[in-house]
Amino acid sequence: MTLDELRVKIDEIDSEIKELFLERMSVAEQVAEIKSGTGDKVLKPEREEAVIKRLTADMGAEMKPAYTSFMKKVMEVSRIFQYRKMLELGARFDLDYREEEPHAGRICYQGLPGSYSELAASILFPDAVRLPVNSFGEVFQSISEGGAEAGVVPLENTTAGSVYEVYDLLISHNLYINASHIEKVNHCLAAVPGARLEDIREVYSHPQAFAQSEKFLKRYGLIGRERSNTAVAAKEVAELKDRSIAAVCSREAASHYGLTVLREGINHNKENATKFVAVSKYLVVKDYHDKIAVVFSCPHRSGSLASVLGIFGDYGVNLTEIHSRPDGKKPWEYLFYVDFTGNLKDENIRALLYQLHEELPYIKVIGSYENKA
């Protein structure tokens, strides 16, 4: 047969596959109707494995993996179709969220006045009383105990990566992400009035600020002394009144503590930025929200994570972040944190979460917010 003749033959086979696919989906719809009444599960891993084993029993080694992948995809598409149908038929799946955000009069942040966290808090909550605390844990504890209605914490930095402690605290304190703000990092070298750059011998700051300003510090032979926060460093330099000591901090921190900026923009990566998020006791969903954060665990099956991530793609959802963390309960078991585009009011997103809720051992929505990138 010629190439054109072979293509015609493939087209004929594809048409036959199409008809069989539509027939299969019609049967799947009837299955969904029955399961909607009985409460039976859509996903039956043992049955799917048994079907594939039976169908591939007489296949050669060359075609068996390809046909297995083909059938798994057919079954996956069928399950998605059934979940959508069951929701149409009234399956119970409620997302507990508020459409109006409670008034936040008191906001917690980690650090001191003049820190990047305080600056982010002032932008996210311009009218609130801002309460500084010593640690991220205290931010979450204050909200949980009613000392503040919300908190602002860093979630990720473009240079240093994710702040994993915050992810862990979201779960342990049962709080939610409601808003985000991207703060561009612009480090300054600041010292007491009258000091000159050639006077400086030591510099105080947070380790990340040192890493982000390493080239500048090396160029001038400055010795770094670690402090818990850039604003803490600025405060200490102001109190010491020593012209040989400077701080790497924000311009806002320098101004707040009466320091003089000797050099501005000393961080070598000018695109460096930190993503801050607002957290509270309540999951709030606004019409303009376009980002969703979830955390989930995977079944103990080969390829389960790849399968779960594939489900997001099947619903046309774009994953923007994924992180893993030990679940803290069993060795070598993990929780996966995923950010993706969408709005929780959208029916497609509701169907996606319904399927994940039915098929995963654990899943929780931990945030809904507007992407400010």
Coil, helix or strand for 173?
coil
> Could you tell me whether strands 150-157 and 273-280 are parallel, antiparallel, or unpaired per DSSP bridges?
antiparallel
Which residues carry out catalysis? Answer: 274, 276
Q: Give the tens place of pLDDT for each residue, 280-297.
A: 999 999 999 999 999 999
pLDDT of residue 302: 78
Distance between CA atoms of residues 213 and 267, nearest Å: 4
pLDDT for residue 157 is more than 80: yes
235 pLDDT tier (thresholds 50, 70, 90): very high
Write the secondary structure of 147-171 as one string of H (helix), E (strand) and C (coil).
CCCEEEEEEEECCCEECHHHHHHHH
Estimate to the nearest angstrom the gap between the alpha carbon of 110 and the chain centroid: 20
| Average pLDDT value for residue range 62-77 | 94
The residue type of 45 is: P
Average of pLDDT values for 341-370? 95
| Number of other residues whose CB lies within 10 A of the CB of residue 367 | 26
Q: What is the mean pLDDT of the chain?
A: 93
**pLDDT for 330 beyond 80:** no
**Closest Cα to residue 291, out of 156, 138, 90?**
156
Q: Please identify which residue in the block is written with the tokens 């993706």.
A: 340
Domains of the chain plus CATH, in order, are 1-92 (1.20.59.10), 106-185+272-280 (3.40.190.10), 188-264 (3.40.190.10)
Res. 158: pLDDT tops 90: no
What long-range pairs does 362-365 form, CB within 8 A, spacing at least 24?
Answer: 362/295, 362/296, 362/297, 362/335, 363/294, 363/295, 363/296, 363/297, 364/171, 364/294, 364/295, 364/296, 365/95, 365/97, 365/176, 365/283, 365/292, 365/293, 365/294
The pTM for the full model equals 0.85
pLDDT at 251: 93
Average pLDDT rounded to a whole number, residues 287-314: 91
